[in-house]
Amino acid sequence: MFENLQDKLDRAFKVLKGQGSITEINVAETMKEIRKALLDADVNYKTAKAFTDDVKEKALGQNVLTSISPGQLLTKIMNDELAELMGGTTAELNISDNPTIILIAGLNGAGKTTFSGKLANFLKTQKGKKPLLVAGDVYRPAAIDQLQVLGQQIGVPVYANIESKDPIGIAQEGIAEGKKNGNNIIIIDTAGRLAIDEEMMNEIAAVKASTNPQEILFVVDSMTGQDAVNTAKAFNDRLDFTGVVLTKLDGDTRGGAALSIKSVVDKPIKFIGTGEKMEALDVFHPDRMASRILG
Ligand code: GDP
């Protein structure tokens, strides 16, 4: 279904045209096919249904049935609709405060530490900022090392305190250090867990309350399908985050999670991770993701 969706739709419509009359029922059948394909791409049922209902209405309104290339027109309608559902335009990072505090949250293995490094690198090289990274994962000494290695690689200082097991204290110390050294961006990497648990949520909520961040970016592995949506909901309920980072989009996932997450938590997706290297970060473009989801 996803291979050359447009060709398939064109073909389907040609067959329908050959039959002389194209009815609303035929369109409904096609929408059913599209809905199935979206479910295959990890879009959740409610979102897929709302999407196809909308597209159907628009398709009928725009005379898709009588157009010369209905498949093409329908694909365009779907692309536009998908992009709109994912926010329409690129959502900018709010980095106007000096210093701007950015909190990074998510489960273990989602790609938080990697993204923290990528974001610091992006803000330094593309926005001319002077970031400081704060190693707030007090449970994994390896995460602190990892951040320090990344910091060295991209030439960004890292604040760490291996003696401390107090994430709030470390965040405060990091902010003080950044202010002292004139850093205008302070990125706080936080601890994750393998699954959502109350303790982790309490802890990160406390870090949020004590640091008052302008941005709270929720990092999620795009390969985790429906779990990504549930995790996003749990984090958003507790943290009211300001944006989503979808990682590991260099894999073969279609990225349907982007659509589901946006529709469930209604927060903008701001970045996508496309590899392990520090440069493998892209600003999120809804229209490009729409094309990817539709194949
Ligand atoms: P954390 O536990 O959330 O801090 O996750 P890490 O940053 O340690 O990332 C977990 C693993 O995923 C590491 O091996 C990273 O190199 C890898 N990773 C992170 N982001 C991406 C990405 O966008 N693409 C790919 N292919 N791997 C990634």
Q: CA 180, CA 177: separation in Å to the nearest integer?
A: 5
Dist CA 79 CA 294 (whole Å): 7
Task: Provide the 10 A C-beta neighbour count for residue 3.
Answer: 7
Atom 5 of ligand 1, nearest CA residue: 111
Question: Is 118 marked as binding a ligand?
Answer: no
pLDDT along the chain (295 residues), means of 10: 53 54 69 79 81 86 72 81 90 95 96 98 98 93 94 98 94 98 98 87 96 97 87 96 96 81 92 97 94 78
- In order, the DSSP letters of 181-225 are TT-SEEEEEE---SS--HHHHHHHHHHHHHH--SEEEEEEEGGGT
- Cβ density class 58-85: b for 16+ within 10 Å, e for less: ebeeeebbeeeebbbbbbebbbbbbbeb
Which segments of the chain does DSSP mark as H helices, in order?
5-18, 24-40, 45-61, 70-85, 112-125, 141-154, 167-180, 198-211, 226-239, 256-265, 286-294
The pLDDT of residue 216 is 98
d(Cα 128, Cα 75) in Å, to the nearest integer?
A: 39
Q: Are 167 and 136 in contact (CB under 8 A)?
A: yes
Residue 148 confidence (pLDDT): 97
The H or E element spanning position 246 is strand 243-247
Q: Is 136 in the pocket of ligand 1 (CB under 6 A)?
A: no
CA distance 146 to 137: 11
CA-proximal residue: ligand 1, atom 20 (nearest): 111
Is 224 touching ligand 1 by the criterion CB < 6 Å? no
**Ligand 1 atom at minimum distance from 118 CA:** 20
63 labeled binding residue: no
Nearest to 173 by CA among 123, 207, 223: 207
CA–centroid distance for 169 within its chain: 29
The pLDDT of residue 1 is 42
CA–centroid distance, 110 to ligand 1, in Å, is 6
Q: Determine whether the shortest distance from the Cβ of 208 to ligand 1 is under 6 A.
A: no
- Distance of CA 221 from the midpoint of ligand 1 (Å): 8
Q: Would you mind telling me the total number of residues written for the chain in this entry? A: 295
CA 147 / ligand 1 centre spacing (Å): 12
Whole-prediction pTM:
0.90
3-state secondary structure of 1: coil
pLDDT of residue 5: 55
At position 152, the amino acid (one-letter code) is: Q
Residues paired with residue 199 on neighbouring β-strands, in sequence order: none
Q: Which atom of ligand 1 is nearest to the CA of 137?
A: 4
Establish whether residue 247 lines the binding site of ligand 1, counting it when its CB lies within 6 angstroms of any ligand atom: yes
Q: Judge whether 248 is annotated as a binding position.
A: yes
Query: Closest Cα to atom 9, ligand 1: which residue?
Result: 111
Q: Whose CA is nearest to atom 28 of ligand 1?
A: 276
